[in-house]
Amino acid sequence: MKIAWIVVILLSSLSLSGKDIFTLNCDSVDVVPTMKDPGVFYDSLQMKASRHRVTKWLYGHMIRPPKESGNRNLQSYEYYRSFENKTIGSITIKSLDVFGPDFSDTSKTTDIWIEKMANKLHSSSNLYVIRKNLWIKEGQTLDPDLFMDNERLLRSLPYLQDVRFILTPNPINNNLVDILILTKDVFSLGISGGIGSIHRGEIGVYDKNIFGIGHEIVTKLVAHTDKVPHVGFETYYAVNNVRGNFVNFSAGYSNTYLREGFFVSLERDFLRPQSVYAGGLTALRNFRADKINLNDYITSEFPLNYLFLDAWYGRRLKLGINPNDNRFQINLSGRIRYTTFYDRPLPDVGNNQFFANSTFYLGSLSFSRRSYDRDYLVYSYGITEDIPKGYLHELVLGYDHNEFGDRWYSHVFLSTGNLFKNEPFYFYTSLAVGSFWSRSGPEQGMADFKFNFISPMFHIWNVQARQFINLNYTLGVNRFEIENLLLRNSGGIRGFGSRSEKGKQRLTLNVENVFFQKKSILNFKTALFSFFDLGVVGPADQSIFKQNYFTGLGVGLRIRNENFIFKTIQLRLAFYPYHPGDVYPIGFLFDEVAKSKFYSFQPRGPEPLRFE
């Protein structure tokens, strides 16, 4: 506090006119200007600070101007609240071209010929597609929470890059508010692919918004020189929000050297705290596969032939608890999972079988609260990001009717994040403890702790930057021999491909600094990053701190154009000072990476904890 006082006094003493008046809040280091535009104050203060080397350094490290939400149109809850209880008059939707215009200048056009051609090739989102995703209607009383939720929902659609709701008082009737919805598509056509080795590779094409109607299709060719079929294919089709019921449909078929089978799925989520019900239904039939599902980390050398059925339903309960908080939600959910194998590996010497025929019954009671802040340059490269804050706590109980012995299941999951008011940083933490229970005691149990921190935006040499810190500890109890924790999974050590370092207990620390570059080429924005990863893995019955430590450190470059649907391009150079025999000391990687996502605190269907 004293340092902040000294900085402000020192900077203000540089003023020759003495006409800039500001006050200090003695309970914090926030500077509260009395002038109309706080940006003018900070610009003036920075200009004065730059005249001296010492004060320039102090300004950069101690003074944080307010977020640039005004000129980036990051509509806040207070913005919508200023129109609360007014009646919605008209709702107009305007879709902007992918390349050229933005929300600050909707009339801007592009002079780049390839972007002009792309605008002509692109099918803009049909206005019906946008309207069927609207909760707000003409004639409704304006609800700020509903507006925030609806804008976030539209922004989460895979074919929309960003969305703005602009509210204008009706010039004739002051009780009416007219709504202009600006939407900006992404160029929905994309190409994906990669070469895993000289023996295998894949290439695919996809469209996230076929003919502008919001449907998604993916087709991929997968090849292997030594395994059959030498050239196979995968296809996937999805429909977001079928007929305005907020039910998502997806189906797919695959016939490659890895798997042959098909699936069909229907899913409806708890999209809002006011959502009354949610549920899902999935049918998966694999005639030949290396794992139970694509998200599973355990693979089998023996081809699996099985049927998997999954159904769940959840409903919001009104118990009179915390009735004045419309962001609070209590849900009761149930699930049934049925798995039967036709071909699988033989049980181990102890007659244990991970791939077991089972009918799994699950029920959960969850308590949640969620709202959202808005920011930019966190995981994206300049578009609006909705950052969840709140908590999700759930108790899950289950019964596994298993061919190798029936058993009970239970777990407790606690999570919270971003609950500090008026703080420019973000964090998330969770704790989960659960296990199956048989006559012989706990089995396939686990405990997991996570802590994620994202720093406020800071500046280094006039470059905007953030720091990301992730800490994770996982402990397995009486897991199957086939179940192991590795350091190569996401959240472990980047590029660390070792399969020899494994165990039932793992501790990882990831620190990353990202430097967002201002300049872009053809709207391709870049970010330099440096990272330090630390990982320890070992048996469950020994201290994790007595195991071998492995580290990875390096630098990289990410390239992203938010106008396109494809993933971020990444170049990464890593150095591993201490490494096992199956890891090289230096690693270079050029690949695509998916954008990281915030934990949403959204209630879900009950499912067992994942040991991965």
pLDDT in tens, 450-479: 999 999 999 998 899 999 999 999 999 999
Mean pLDDT of 115-140: 91
Least confident of 95-99, 285-289, 509-513: 95-99
Provide the percentage of residues in the chain whose pLDDT is more than 90: 62
What does the buried/exposed string (b/e) look like for 139-152 if buried means 16 or more CB atoms within 10 Å of the residue's CB?
eeebbbbbbbbbbb
Please determine, for residue 225, whether its predicted confidence score (pLDDT) is greater than 50: yes
* pTM check: above 0.75: yes
pLDDT in tens, 138-177: 999 999 999 999 999 999 999 999 999 999 999 999 899 9
pLDDT at 421: 67
pLDDT at 461: 86
Domains of the chain: 2-62 (no CATH), 77-185 (3.10.20.310), 259-593 (2.40.160)
Please determine, for residue 609, whether its predicted confidence score (pLDDT) is greater than 80: yes
Name the region of 334 (left: φ>0; alpha: ψ -120 to 50; beta: rest). beta
Mean pLDDT of 258-281: 96
Cβ-count burial of 551 within 10 angstroms (0-12 exposed, 13-18 middle, 19+ buried)?
middle
Contact yes or no for 235/252 (Cβ under 8 A): yes
Alpha carbon of 295 to those of 291, 475, 610: distances in Å?
Answer: 9, 20, 10
pLDDT at 523: 84
Mean pLDDT of 527-551: 94
Please determine, for residue 62, whether its predicted confidence score (pLDDT) is greater than 70: no
Please determine, for residue 323, whether its predicted confidence score (pLDDT) is greater than 90: no
Greater confidence, 584 or 21?
584
Picking from 475, 473, 493, the residue whose alpha carbon sits closest to that of residue 484 is: 475
Mean pLDDT for the chain overall:
86
Please determine, for residue 586, whether its predicted confidence score (pLDDT) is greater than 70: yes
Taking CA 160 as the corner, what is the angle to CA 158 and CA 163, rounded to the nearest 5 degrees?
Answer: 135
pLDDT in tens, 478-515: 999 899 999 986 678 998 888 889 999 999 999 999 99
Contact yes or no for 377/464 (Cβ under 8 A): yes
pLDDT at 57: 46
